[in-house]
Amino acid sequence: MTFEEMRDRIANGQGFIAALDQSGGSTPKALRGYGVEDNEWNGDDEMFGMIHEMRQRIIEAPCFGNGKVIGAILFEKTMEGESGGKSVPARLAERGIVPFLKVDKGLEEERDGVQLMKPNPGLEAMCARAKELGVFGTKMRSVIKSANPKGIRENVRQQFADGVRILTSGLVPILEPEYDITAADRAEGEKILLDELIAGLDTLHDDQQVIFKLSIPKEAGLYSDLIKHPKVLRVVALSGGYSTDEACSELAKNPGMIASFSRGLLQDLRKQQDDGEFDGTLSGAIDQIHAASVS
């Protein structure tokens, strides 16, 4: 796929984006969920080796290339690895799946009801390497924990500031200011977030587009104006701690918003499954998430 073909696939594809980007801190938990205990690996190299084997198995599963997965978000080590004898981004593109790269460096401590992203001085170099490998876009996550207007404004400002750095590097950013779904004031805070996101879009040039990855809103249809905005390529939803069933049920209430699930996609996969059982389990999750994304 060319870059423009990838853009069209993300803008118009009838499917969802798989999140395969668990990084250092979340990798042990992801491995335990996959049926790999902590005593089965020793040190970061073995840990990342095992998570890469899991991701290779997903990428190479017959159902993963059935057209329902239109994109995949990768951790840097996964991007630099191989699958099917090719670089992971090249193999994904070969299967009709647009590659993205997680580029944030983790979260700061909470302040003003939010967790901002840590500074990222090497962002441009990482984007250049990703572009060299055929990656289309990036993803970076920050967190909102309460309806604090000051914190939400700063959270969104940081997302757009780094987003412009990514756009200038020739990639398309996924901006992910996640709203904690357990927050008691989420309905109020998400309306503040929406206003700040629209204000952020006003700062972009007319030829610039971003993707938003957001918690499924408390108020169904809240993000419909974002979905239609000319500077928004797509609005995707994170599962945010919901089970697959819960996330799909909530997502289906928001037409035009598609999934970008991690836990919701992977929760029933196990290392101990044979290839047929693994593909069948993954296929069931893909079908369910796809149906919620195109409803």
> Residue 24 has what pLDDT?
62
Per-residue pLDDT of the chain (295 residues; tens, 9 = 90+): 999 999 999 999 999 999 998 776 778 888 999 999 999 999 989 998 999 999 999 999 999 999 999 999 999 999 999 999 999 999 999 999 999 999 999 999 999 999 999 999 999 999 999 999 999 999 999 999 999 999 999 999 999 999 999 999 999 999 999 999 999 999 999 999 999 999 999 999 999 999 999 999 999 999 999 999 999 999 999 988 888 899 999 999 999 999 998 888 888 999 999 999 999 999 999 999 999 999 8
Nearest to 180 by CA among 168, 163, 193, 167: 193
Contacting residues for 121 by C-beta, under 8 A, at least 6 apart? none
pLDDT digits (tens, 9 = 90+) for 54-95: 999 999 999 999 999 999 999 999 999 999 999 999 999 999
Tell which phi-psi region holds residue 96, choosing left (phi > 0), alpha (psi between -120 and 50) or beta: left
Q: What is the pTM of this model?
A: 0.95
For residue 26, what pLDDT is reported?
Answer: 78
Residue 11 near residue 231, CB atoms below 8 Å? no
Q: Is 176 a catalytic residue?
A: yes
Q: Is the CB of residue 189 less than 8 Å from the CB of residue 144?
A: yes
212-222 pLDDT per residue, tens: 999 999 999 99
Is there a contact between 157 and 200 (Cβ–Cβ < 8 Å)? yes
If you search the block for the tokens 């994304």, which residue do you land on?
Answer: 293
Give the pLDDT of residue 22.
73
Task: State how far the Cα of 35 lies from the Cα of 12, in Å rounded to an integer.
Answer: 36
Tokens of 228: 């239609």
d(CA 263, CA 257): 18
* Residue in 6, 11, 5 with CA at minimum distance from that of residue 210: 11
Joined tokens for residue 212: 């938003």
Which one of the listed residues 68, 145, 176, 250 is annotated catalytic? 176
Q: What residues contact 215, with CB distance under 8 A and at least 6 apart?
A: 178, 179, 180, 181, 186, 190, 237, 238, 240
Does the annotation count 191 as an active-site position? no
Strands 258-259 and 210-215, bridge-based pairing:
unpaired
Given 77, 102, 139, 213, the catalytic residue: 213
195 burial via Cβ count (<10 Å: 0-12, 13-18, 19+) = middle
Strand residue runs (E) in 54-189 = 69-74, 82-83, 86-87, 98-102, 114-115, 137-144, 172-179
